[in-house]
Structure 1
Amino acid sequence: MFAWPSPTNVPARITDFQASGLVLTVLGERLVQPVILEETTDSRYSPIDGKQRLASLLSFLNGERLWEHAPVELVVSNDDDDEDAWFHGKTYKDLGKEWQRRFGNYTLHCVIITNDTDPDVIFKIYDDLNSGGRDHTKQQIRKAAFHGSYMSLLEDLIKTPDFKEEVDRELVLRYFAMKNGGDDFKGSLTKWLNSEAKQRRNADTAAFSRDFSTTLSVARAIFGNSAFRHPGVDTVKKAKASSKGPTSNIHPYLWDTIMVVLSDALKMQGRPRLQQRGDAIKAAYQQLWQNPQWLDAMEKRLSAASIMLRRDLFKAHILPPDGFV
């Protein structure tokens, strides 16, 4: 069974000329490029390459006319196109039984990516498929490769007013991955986030949404517009210079640390108490930047050890054993 990818059930169509030419290729029993399918659940397959081909063939089968919007004189340009002229304007039902038999018996070859395929391999397949078009970010590729309720949630969450249009979409996924672990980080960030995206692909996201929105709102209420910004680094300028990294002034290490610690604190302390002590928390955070250990931790490369070190230092300074400062 086919499962059209979210968010649209019917993919964008190719032009009338291309779609009609494809139908004639099938009727002529000539080769059509294989379709790539991904196994999503038992007995369900989602097309990741060839959606337009499938949509065009199904549209013709369901009553669309060949070259429906093109006059016959544009279709027939020389004496060799008499066959095309005969097909012009016809639907599947208009064809004789022999042509219908050819269409119905045609074998469209498929390449299937099984459900147990490594998520990094799936990511690279999508990356390869998009390599001939415009550049896509890793998160855009990930959105296509692991489409489902989880990716839809990430798209919804970036629309919250607290984002102020400054957050790279990948940071939302990064927060959930960090909250889900952090101490198990290994390898590259891309592979780690791919694994997170596949693992939670069709998860129930209601609780995730509440947690993220509340945590981000509290962070903004306490730290204001300076939340997640490194006081000594112009993150945007640095990212543009290297063509890597986030596209905003949000520092990823601060994002990782503050969001996860605040989320945990919300469960223990509650939102009213956190915001009531907001001024004291903000003052303690400013003092943290005078701590040599913290400054050194902020320079360490991303690893399980550095993630936990930054988290522990922030928590110890902002959340001592007897509660918030």
Structure 2
Amino acid sequence: LDRGTLRCDLVHKRRGELARESVADEAELLVANEIHEIGRGDGETNVLLTQATAIREEWLRELFPDDFSGRVAVNWDSAAKRAVARREIVFRDLALDSRPLDPPPAEESARLLAAAVISGECVLKEWDRAVDQWIARVNLLAKAWPDWQLPTYGEAERELLIQQICHGAVSYKDIKDRSVLPSVKALLSPAQQALVEKHMPERITLSNGRGVKVQYDGAAEPFISARIQELFGVDSLPATAAGRLPLVIHILAPSHRPVQVTKDLPGFWRDHYPRIKQELRRKYPKHEWR
């Protein structure tokens, strides 16, 4: 009972208010003979307790010994960004005594932390583009080669990985800088990781000797970007996934703006480059044009 507002907790997870004229306004524990539910204009209901009498916990224990239990309640504190716990003595579902428990239970704390990460309330700083690229590489290779039986990363796997990263922590402070990529890669065996590195590489070398970074974006086809001058001497593009996933190339002007997106590089040189070269040579006369 809050002696200022006369608000109190009831069984069945409800809240009520003791009548102002009640003689039980100093009670720690009380029983009400009458309960009135009063509708409000906003659609909610006020519960008013009248004819209330103060009682003692020991009386309840004597009359209803089987209705008492102990529990540990673990909740998420959004302001502190941490799990908090209280050890409680409960009559039915009403907590009669509640005391802080620190540290809170590890498993439940990790679950609450993971839920905060999954919802976006807390952000793992190390869950970066490199992690997303790895996930895309694995999923694309698994789709291209189902016979290889590679694990894939879906929502369930993502949630499980986040729970593993949160293991042993109780607060956002504990996990915000934790390493992520090693845990994500650990879903695959070393041999499977080697397959990914070989067939879905981070970088490739073009036939003219230039190295370029491969971009993997979710379920989309992998692609590379290069300026026209960097492609001189390149007649064809390598494929990923052991030949099953052709690369898309974003061909860029000297300004790094795309002038063509294609998988057919020979067709670009044959059908489009002569016209594009004339236009770009006027705009960028100092660049090499072949």
TM-based fold match above 0.5: no
- TM interval, shorter chain, is under 0.3
Query: Which one has the bigger helix percentage?
Result: 1
